[in-house]
Structure 1
Amino acid sequence: MNLIAQETSIMIRAKAKDAKFIGSSIGGAKILVKDALTGEILSEGITKGSTGNTEKIMNQDWKRNQPISEENTAGFNAVIEIEEPVFVTIEAYAPFNKKQATVLSSTQIWVIPGKDITEDGVVLDVPGFVVDILSPQTHERIKATEEVEIKANIVMMCGCPVTKDGIWDANQYEVTAVITNDSGESTEIKLEQKEKPSTFSAKIKLEKGLYEVLVYSYDPVTGNTGVDKVNIIIN
């Protein structure tokens, strides 16, 4: 008997750890579906759609077999044509447009011809924070007589905002700047979220020299982490 190739659909979603789905608002997750044996790419694309229903995802108890996604929730529907069961590797690079924050999450499954995987589908968990240093700018020259304002934007991997007493509570996260001179000596300063959501800041005076400014965010409850770096000149 000759086998007939059948189109088979796999709904693939990337979900930020302790947050929502990674979709169009942050540029999506890059999805690759590969033959696990040969490495051949069988399908690829970007997750598109909304981050999902906040109430359902973050506040309600999930019951077995109850989808947490909805019709417009971000995902990528991979369609492959296969004649026999194929063992595949599914990779998500997310959030794809934030290169310093992009991480790889992957899994492997058997895909059976004609047996679609729908609704929530395959959900890949994406840990971390997106950390963007807003100030100082890369290679900025700052006078030693001036205070250096260190300001960073911190969001969940889906783009969800971080605010004091919010769903993603700034009080729970450690946001710290580590400032290292060209002799290897480091100073740490805590950044705080004040008026603007997701924006953490602090000020410090530095002596003349070359410095690396590293800002990290850490959640001791979930283990989520994120980092960004810039180099500056104090003259």
Structure 2
Amino acid sequence: MKNLFVIVLLVLIATGQNFAKETRIVVRAKARDAKFIGSSLGGAYIIIRDKLNNKILSEGKTEGTTGDTRLIMMEPRERGKRIADEATAKYEATLDLQEPTFVRIEVQSPLNNRTAQAHVSTELWLIPGKHILGDGIILEIPGFIVDILAPRTHQYISLKSLANQSLTFEANIVMMCGCLIDSDGLWDANAMEVVGLLSRNGEPLKELPLICKAPNLFGATAAIDTPGKYELVVYAYDELTGNTGVDKVNFVILD
């Protein structure tokens, strides 16, 4: 009787294993109104979870290029036409599924810039043995990456050190894929609103329009003639796409 039980158990295990099938799925992260997020920006982090128990089935970073600009940004879209080539950044997971599984796919990007990091997700059924390849699942990441370069965080600046009591403000701003923003470029700085909001001792002081001085570099100068604790908030806004981005620093002006 014991041997019969062992045989039945082995048959059940073997039968369960037969249902398991290798299932491959490609996941990509794409910046809104721009290209794919790949190795040049440190990748986007992908997590695939079983929605039933929140178990992580696979996780890792997208790797590859930002893709073909012509395919992604210039050619008319046609149903079924791919916008990602073989070099375009992706994360490919190979799962061993025994039954249809409802999953949640999460992306965190840009991975190496927490201030601009967005979390985006989608949910879908995965069917054992039914691969999702080609362009795969594409999750859109909205926004801009904004990094204030000057003044530096918690920088102490003497009024005497300022030429004509004028302070320079600079910020580096890129698309969420790292693509260049420039005057009259494909991602046109002239179509974007970049403004610095300057406060002193907690009170609003002035708004500073920042102008594109070089690819990704925006700047302005303003008269500063009073010591105090200052805060600078720089925002970027594109009305056409709805992309936004923000960074802030605090600095001190001394007598």
Q: Report the TM range for the smaller structure's normalisation.
A: over 0.9
Between stretches 180-189 and 54-63, larger displacement belongs to 180-189
Cα distance in 1 between the residues matched to 2:229 and 2:36: 40
CA shift at 1:144, angstroms? 2.4
Contact 2:110 2:176 in 1 (8 A): yes
Q: Which residue of 2 aligns with 1:200?
A: 218
SS in 1 for 2:70: helix
Cα distance in 2 between the residues matched to 1:174 and 1:36: 40
Identical aligned residues as a percent: 48
1:65 and 2:80 matched? yes
Q: Which residue of 2 aligns with 1:228?
A: 247
Q: Which digits, 9 at most, give the CA deviation of each residue in 1:177-228, with x for residues without a partner?
A: 011122322311000002x211000011222100111111000111100011
Amino acid at match of 2:250: N
Cα distance in 1 between the residues matched to 2:203 and 2:93: 48
RMSD: 1.1
Amino acid at match of 2:209: K
Q: Which residue of 2 aligns with 1:185?
A: 204
Q: Which residue of 2 aligns with 1:215?
A: 234
TM-score by length of 2: 0.90
Q: Which digits, 9 at most, give the CA deviation of each residue in 1:6-42, with x for residues without a partner?
A: 2211100000000000000011100000011211110
Moved over 2 A (4+): 1-4, 183-186
Contact 2:23 2:130 in 1 (8 A): yes
Between stretches 140-149 and 125-134, larger displacement belongs to 140-149
Q: Which structure has the larger Rg? A: 2
SS in 1 for 2:40: helix
1:169 and 2:169 matched? no
2:108 corresponds to which of 93, 96, 100 = 93
Amino acid at match of 2:243: N
SS in 2 for 1:223: coil
Cα distance in 2 between the residues matched to 1:183 and 1:10: 50
1:109 and 2:128 matched? no
Q: Which digits, 9 at most, give the CA deviation of each residue in 1:96-152, with x for residues without a partner?
A: 111111101110010000111000000000000000111111111112241221100
Q: Which digits, 9 at most, give the CA deviation of each residue in 1:163-184, with x for residues without a partner?
A: 0111000000000001112232
TM-score by length of 1: 0.97
2:38 corresponds to which of 12, 23, 28 = 23
Aligned length: 234
